[in-house]
Amino acid sequence: MNLFSKTPPSRDVQRERRDWVLDQQRWKHQRDIERGYRIKWGYVAIAYLVEFMVIGASLAGAWLFAGYYSDGDDRAFYFMLLAPLVYAAVELCRVPLGILARTQRSWFVKGLAIIGIVFAAGVTTKSVSQLGEMMFHPRLMDAAKAKTALKDAQADRDSIDTRIAAANARVEQYTNELEQIEKRSAENASQLAGLPAQRCERVYGTNSRGMRYSNLKCVTDPRTATLNAAVAKAGTDRSAIVKELEEARKARGLLDRGAADRKVADAEQAYRNSVNRSQLHSFTAMVYGVDPIDVTDAQVHAFLRIFVFVPALCAAFASTILALSAVSVRKTFMDEDDLGAAVDPEATPYLLASIADGVRQEMALAQPRPVTRDASVIPLERRTAPVVPPPPPPANTSGNAPTGVTA
C-alpha cells in the first residue's frame, strides 16, 4: 500500500464543511447588519503592524539617544527612557480610537475619540520627528564642524597682515633695544678703559706693640665700580633681549600668507566634502537653486522642518486613516424604518389600480384553454391561419353546364 496516496474526501464531508462555512458567513453577515457596521480585520492588522513598527523605531531611537547623551551615567540613562515608554503606550491607542470614531453612534463619544486621535498623533509626530532629526544629525554636525574650521582659517588669513606687521614691529623693537644695549655697553667699556690705573705706594708706620711695619697701599678710581656694574647689567640685559629677539623672529617666520591661503583652501575642500555627504544640504540647494556650499543655516533648518515634521505627520495619521477606512458603516433596519413605512393617502388610488391590473393579468392567465375535437389542447399563444373561402364558380349565361361538370 502506498503511504503517500491520499484518499479523496467524502462528498458528505465536503458538503458539511461548505455548509458550515456558509452558516458562518450568514451569521457574520447578520451580525454586521444588526450592529450596523463591518470591520475589515485585514486592514486593522496592517494598521497595527505600522503602529508597532513606529513604536519599535521610536523606542530604539530613544535607547540610542539616551546612550549617547547620558555620558555613561546609568541613572540618567534610565531616566531618559521613561518618557518614551509612556509615549509608546499613547501611540498604541490611535488605532482603537480610530475604530471607535467610526463605530460609536454617539456624537459625543465620536468627538472624544477624534480628540484622542489628535493627541496621540501629536505624540507620534514628536517621536518620529526626533528620529528624523537623529537621521540628519551626524551629517549636519560634520558640516557644522567643517564650516567652523573654514571660518577660522578665513579669519586667520584675513588677520595675517595685521599679525605680520605686529611681529615685524616686535622684531624691530627688540633689535633697537639690543642696539641700544650694545651701544651703552660699548660706552661703559670705553669709559672704564679711560680711567687711570691704580696708584700704589708704600706706607711705613709703628703698630701698637711698638713694632715698625711697611705695607703697599693701592688706591682705585671710585668710578671703576660703577662702570663695572653698568657693564655687567648691560651684559645681562643683552642676553634677555637676544632671547626675546630670537622668539620674535621665530614667530614671524611662522606667519606665511601662502600657508594661510593653503589652509583656507584645505578647509574649504573639507567643508565641501561634508556638505556633499549631507543629503539635507543637497535638497536645500536644489530647492533654493544655489551651490550646496552657499546655503545658509537658516535655509537648512527651514528645509529641515519640512523634511522632518511633514513625514512625521504622515506617519502619525497613516495607520489611523487605515483603521478609519477599515470600518464599513451601513444603516440598520431601525434607521431605514422598513417596518414602519407609511403610505401617502394621495397615492392610494394609483396603488390600488396597479394591484387591480395585476389581478386581471393573473385571472386572464388562469382561464381554461379550449379543447379540440380530438381532445388535444390548443395553446393559447399559437395563432391559427385564417380560413379563406373558395372562389365562386363563373356564371353560365347559356344555361349549359360547365365543361367537366355533369348535371
Are residues 220 and 77 both part of a single domain? no
Are residues 125 and 148 both part of a single domain? yes
User: Are the C-beta atoms of 81 and 63 separated by less than 8 Å?
Assistant: yes
Bridge partners for 377 per DSSP: 371
Domain-ending residue, one of 271, 292, 307: 271
Instruction: Cell numbers for 307, please give them.
Output: 523634511
Instruction: Answer yes or no: is 373 within a domain.
Output: no
Looking at per-residue pLDDT, the higher value among 333 and 363 belongs to 363
Instruction: Answer yes or no: is 214 within a domain.
Output: yes
Enumerate residues 6+ apart whose C-beta is below 8 A from 112. Answer: none
Q: No. of H helices and E strands in the chain?
A: 12, 4
Instruction: Answer yes or no: is 380 within a domain.
Output: no
- The mean pLDDT value of the chain amounts to 76
Q: Domain containing 308: what range?
A: 32-153+276-329
User: Are the C-beta atoms of 100 and 77 separated by less than 8 Å?
Assistant: no
> For residues 163 and 19, what is the distance between their CA atoms, to the nearest angstrom?
98
Enumerate residues 6+ apart whose C-beta is below 8 A from 19. Answer: none
Are residues 103 and 190 both part of a single domain? no
Q: Could you report the per-residue pLDDT of 102-152, keeping only the tens digit for each?
A: 888 788 888 888 998 888 888 888 888 888 888 888 888 888 888 888 888
- Return the closest-CA partner of residue 95 out of 119, 125, 117, 127: 117
Q: How confident is the model at residue 396 (pLDDT cuts 50, 70, 90)?
A: very low
Are residues 143 and 59 both part of a single domain? yes
User: In sequence order, which ranges of 255-382 are alpha helices (DSSP H)?
Assistant: 257-276, 279-288, 297-325, 333-336, 348-365
> For residues 312 and 27, what is the distance between their CA atoms, to the nearest angstrom?
41
Are residues 93 and 52 both part of a single domain? yes
For residue 272, pLDDT beyond 80:
yes
> For residues 276 and 133, what is the distance between their CA atoms, to the nearest angstrom?
18
Q: How confident is the model at residue 334 (pLDDT cuts 50, 70, 90)?
A: very low
Bridge partners for 204 per DSSP: 214
Instruction: Answer yes or no: is 299 within a domain.
Output: yes
Instruction: Answer yes or no: is 129 within a domain.
Output: yes
Q: Could you report the per-residue pLDDT of 130-142, keeping only the tens digit for each?
A: 888 888 888 888 8
Q: How confident is the model at residue 6 (pLDDT cuts 50, 70, 90)?
A: low
Instruction: Answer yes or no: is 379 within a domain.
Output: no
Are residues 84 and 218 both part of a single domain? no
Which of 1-10, 78-87, 177-186, 387-396: highest mean pLDDT?
A: 78-87
Instruction: Cell numbers for 148, please give them.
Output: 567652523
Domain-ending residue, one of 271, 286, 308: 271
The C-alpha torsion from 57 through 59 and 60 to 64, rounded to 10°, is 130
- Find the helix or strand (DSSP H, E) in which 329 lies: strand 327-329
> For residues 304 and 135, what is the distance between their CA atoms, to the nearest angstrom?
11
Are residues 317 and 244 both part of a single domain? no
Beta strands in 182-223 (DSSP E): 199-206, 212-219
Instruction: Answer yes or no: is 372 within a domain.
Output: no
What amino acid is encoded at 192 in this protein? L
Indicate the number of domains in the chain: 2
Threshold 0.75, pTM exceeds: no
Are residues 207 and 289 both part of a single domain? no
Are residues 255 and 304 both part of a single domain? no
> For residues 82 and 65, what is the distance between their CA atoms, to the nearest angstrom?
13
User: Are the C-beta atoms of 191 and 221 separated by less than 8 Å?
Assistant: no
Instruction: Answer yes or no: is 401 within a domain.
Output: no
Are residues 95 and 244 both part of a single domain? no
Are residues 98 and 114 both part of a single domain? yes
Are residues 44 and 117 both part of a single domain? yes
